[in-house]
Chains A and B, each alone.
Chain A
Amino acid sequence: MIRAASVSYVVGGRALVDDVAFDLPGGTLTALVGPNGAGKSTMLGLLSGDLEASAGTVHLGDRPVAEWKVKDLARQRGVMLQQQAAHFGFSVEETVEMGRLPHDVDPGRDREIVESALRGSDLAALRRRDVTTLSGGEGARTAYARVVAQTTPVVLLDEPTAALDLRAQEALLRSARAKADEGAAVVVVLHDLNQAARYADRVLMFSGGRLVADGPPPEVLTPPRIEEVYGQRVHLMEHPETGAPVLVPAHG
């Protein structure tokens, strides 16, 4: 579904993404992890077609991302950015409805999709709220619901959980997981490695613009590698209920 072939992105002589290659099939949730400035958001920008690769190509579906028409591309991939602009008083519902823009109008189906997106992000009670009065988390949930309403086979999420409270974080990732299980290729930039471990099928770890590890969470998220990439020692513990591995930062 998504294929990056030796992709680099160079600005002012500095490679923000350096010769990265991977292939992500539909039906998987992939987490992009790595320290600040590792190139995760730039990578997402390249996948979404916002940025043009300096070298190599990104394929989306059957052709390079640059060859898609803007409107066709919007039926192919939805994107949630970190920052949401809201200067005008559209309602939450109107904002989510904008996700239907790339599709041919079908009032009944559009209504159904928007309703389900609102419910899925726990926004039913906020539907009439002015988006300029929302908190950061409420704004992020609205943006996510808009991406859901866009109903695309590729979903790109840039730190979607950053502004969310604990419960909303879990709800959003469960929803993203469900989209992957329905066949979508979901790519999520995450800082919380435990979230990556629990929800992702695959983890791509970036450092200094390079892809330094690629594989299932238990193989990638090992304490020695994390210490090497992040410069932070961690312990691997056991979840008290499930026995699943949990990463905890070491003291000092």
Chain B
Amino acid sequence: MLKGRGTTAREDIRRIPHGLALGGGVLLLLAVMVVSVSVGPVHIALGDVWHILTSRLLGGEGGMSQRDASVVWQLRVPRILLGAVVGAALAISGAALQSLFNNPLADPGIVGVTSGASAGAVGAIVLAGGLAGQWVVPLGAFAAGLGVTALIYVLARPGRTTGTSRMLLVGIAIGSACQALVGFFTYIADDTQLQTLVFWQMGSLGRATWPQLVAVLPVFVLALILVVRLSRTLDVLTLGERQAQHLGLNVKLSRFAVILTTALLTAAAVAFAGSIGFVGLVVPHIMRFVVGPRHRALLPASAIMGAVLVVAADAAARTVNPPTEIPIGLFTAAVGAPFFLFLILREKRRVS
């Protein structure tokens, strides 16, 4: 509280101009994606990756081995693109929800999507048993994720200027109920189901296919456009709900729009990749340090960084112990937790 007046100049905000940050981020993302195509149980030289991609996209014969071409085009490219979409979706949702709840510790799980989707996916794995194609689990997860968010919204019935915090509490209660459901399904699952289930819960892009990517893309693009249009709204919401209302913001409508878009983004991400922790929590924090809290810069920057993080974690998941894949959630948590701790401790030092 007691602060000398002489310290003011040093406390001025320093940010990287966001054009520069976004440009740099896009280059970084492209680099990580290209490297990620090349690494894995089968190593494919960067030059060959280039040939395969250009021959696929532009036609013509690459002259590469059929096996390499199919590894690149059928396995790695879709999973890397899906990884980028998932990472971007989680990071954007995290950034938007942190502002809506006025709480830097919010993450996409806060409105129940993740726990709902978990219950849906695990239920689908156990109940649908053998007939589960590549769509049953994602659909179960997507529907349950949105359903649980809707349930929380209806139960909390947030009002004109208050109620977001009540959503938080209702979310915790419903989240626990979902956990109980997950526990129950885990308990009755057989060994094979158990394996699928555990893998899903720790997150994996291992089953990504082109059709899945095509299915998730429209949801992602639509929600992305909506949430970016909410940039100014989110800026004002950080002042608090009453203050936002005083400035002419329809808080009820804005809150609904933010929850709807983030629930769509998160449910789509979780449906195909399982629950990947820490991306939605940590990435917005990092990007606030880099480009500042204005959402016009923060949302795109978070999207890029979230994509970088998930694509990189997925590359690591494939490479560390080939041919076995390690669940991607282990990497994001292993990197995310210490980094987050560092941020919190640093913050504390700065404040005190």
The chain A residues found within 8 Å of chain B, CB to CB, are: 48, 50, 70-75, 77-79, 81, 83-85, 87-91, 94-95, 98-99, 101-102, 125-126, 128-130, 133, 135-136, 150
Contacts and interface: CB of A to CB of B under 8 A. Distances in A.
Contact of A75 (B102, B248, B250): B248
Given A84-B240, A85-B240, 8 more contacts: A50-B246, A72-B248, A74-B246, A81-B242, A95-B239, A99-B247, A130-B13, A133-B351
Most chain A CB atoms below 10 A, which of B11, B13, B99, B232: B13
A181 to B, nearest CB: 23
Given A129-B11, A135-B1, A71 B239 contact: no
Given A70-B249, A99-B247, A128-B12, A89 B3 contact: no
A101 B232 contact: yes
A245 B201 CA distance: 73
B104 A88 contact: yes
B167 to A, nearest CB: 17
Given A85-B102, A126-B8, A130-B13, A90 B246 contact: no
Contact of A101 (B11, B12, B247, B288): B247
A19 B240 CA distance: 30
A71 B98 CA distance: 24
Contacts of B8: 125-126, 129
Contacts of A130: 11, 13
B292 A89 contact: yes
A130 B249 CA distance: 23
Contacts of B103: 87
Contacts of A133: 11, 350-351
Interface residues of B, number: 32
Interface in B130-164: 161
Interface in B86-143: 98-99, 102-104
B239 A85 contact: yes
Contact of B13 (A79, A87, A129): A129
B11 A73 contact: no
Contacts of A125: 8
A98 B235 contact: yes
Interface in B198-234: 232
A74 B293 contact: no
A85 B13 contact: no
Contact of A70 (B1, B248, B292): B248
Most chain A CB atoms below 10 A, which of B102, B238, B294: B238
Nearest to A97: B235
Nearest to A85: B240
Contacts of A136: 1
Contacts of B238: 85, 87-88, 90
B246 A48 contact: yes
Contact of A50 (B98, B99, B161): B161
Nearest to B347: A132
Nearest to A130: B13
Contacts of A90: 235, 238, 292-294
B18 to A, nearest CB: 13
Interface string B7-37: 0100111000000000000000000000000
B261 to A, nearest CB: 19
Contacts of A129: 8, 11-13
Most chain A CB atoms below 10 A, which of B99, B247, B351: B247
Nearest to A99: B247
A168 to B, nearest CB: 13
Contacts of B292: 89-91
B248 A98 contact: no
Nearest to B293: A88
A70 B232 contact: no
A167 to B, nearest CB: 13
A70 B245 CA distance: 7
A135 B7 CA distance: 12
Contacts of B13: 89, 91, 128-130
A81 B247 contact: no
A102 B242 contact: no
Nearest to B101: A87
Nearest to B1: A135
A92 to B, nearest CB: 9
Given A87-B102, A136-B1, A101 B242 contact: no
Nearest to A45: B242
B1 A101 contact: no
Q: Lowest 7 CB-CB distances: which A-B pairs, in order?
A: A74-B248, A102-B248, A85-B240, A71-B248, A88-B293, A128-B12, A79-B246
Nearest to A49: B245
Contacts of A70: 245, 248-250
A50 B245 contact: yes
Interface string B68-100: 000000000000000000000000000000110
Most chain B CB atoms below 10 A, which of A74, A77, A95: A74
B243 interface: yes
Contact of B104 (A81, A83, A87, A101): A87
B236 interface: yes
